[in-house]
Amino acid sequence: MKTVYNHYNHCLGLATVHLVWIPCRRRRIFANNEELKLRCIQIFQSVANDNKWVIKALEIAPDHIHLLVEYDPHHSISQIVKAFKGRSSRYLRQEFPFLMKLPSLWTHSYMFDTTGKVSTQKVLEYINDPHHG
């Protein structure tokens, strides 16, 4: 399969990152709560659209998030994580009051891996595999 690169002012490239983070205290906030999951997906999509990023894959497990994002060279990985975690925390805590019981929605930490070492297809297969969560 041929790689299709994105064109930007003065550069050409393709940057994809696999992100994983957990709710505060590793609470299973998404277990049996489809409304919360769907709203979280909407928020993530709006963050991606606003920044012209592409969500290649997304899994919302009961106690963690997997996100595979194609992004531009103008943003750092920490800015990407901050955008997704910040907006989702604010909106979800406003719209679902039971989340206010937690000191914050997300922990400060996150895992990232650029997909240069492992093919993006392998990461997609991993995220979309229903048996790992």
Kindly tell me if the per-residue pLDDT of 126 is higher than 90. no
The per-residue pLDDT for 99 is 96
pTM across the whole model: 0.86
- pLDDT of 127 reads 86
pLDDT, tens only, 25-38: 999 999 999 999 99
- Residue 109 pLDDT: 97
What would the pLDDT profile of 36-61 be if each residue is shown by its tens digit? 999 999 999 999 999 999 999 999 99
Q: What is the dihedral of CA 77, 51, 94, 42, to 10 degrees?
A: -100
Residue 48, domain member (yes or no) = yes
61 or 1: which leads in pLDDT? 61
Within a domain: 21: yes
Within a domain: 45:
yes
Contacts of 107 (CB under 8 A, 6+ apart): 21, 22, 23, 24
Structural domain includes residue 1 = no
Provide the number of structural domains found in the chain: 1
Question: What's the whole-number average pLDDT of the chain?
Answer: 91
Structural tokens at position 98: 């039971």
pLDDT of residue 133: 56
Residue 82 domain-assigned (yes or no): yes
CATH number of the domain bearing residue 57 = 3.30.70.1290
pLDDT number for residue 122: 79
pLDDT of residue 46: 98
Identify the band that residue 12 occupies on the pLDDT scale cut at 50, 70 and 90.
confident
Q: How far apart, in whole angstroms, are the C-alpha atoms of residue 85 and residue 16? A: 18
Domain that holds residue 19: 6-128
Q: How far is CA 55 from the centre of its chain?
A: 8
